[in-house]
Amino acid sequence: YTIETKPGQRQDVALNDGTRIELNGASRVVLDRNNPRIATLEAGEATFHVRHDPRDPFTVRSGGVTVQDLGTVFNVEREG
């Protein structure tokens, strides 16, 4: 499923695994209903507050880049 913000709008998204995503304005993220530890940032910018789980990394895809995280806070911005 897709969550999208308009320019100037921000939105916090709480995932079932305890992870939280802060979407900045003019952003779009696609989430997997079957696996809450996968997200695809298609546009804009998001900060990910990943719940720690060393057995199940959180995966963020954006363009040709894939980031896997075991549990930190990080920001992803997509241009173009």
Which structural domains are found in the chain, ordered by start? 2-78 (2.60.120.1440)
pLDDT digit string, tens, across residues 23-58: 999 999 999 999 989 999 999 999 999 999 999 999
Tokens of 3: 């969550």
Closest to 31 (Cα-Cα) out of 46, 41, 22, 23: 41
Q: What string of DSSP letters covers 16-52?
A: TTS-EEEE-TT-EEEEETTEEEEEEEEEEEEEEEPPP
Q: pTM value?
A: 0.94
The whole-number pLDDT of residue 51 equals: 95
Model confidence at 80: pLDDT above 80:
no
The whole-number pLDDT of residue 54 equals: 93
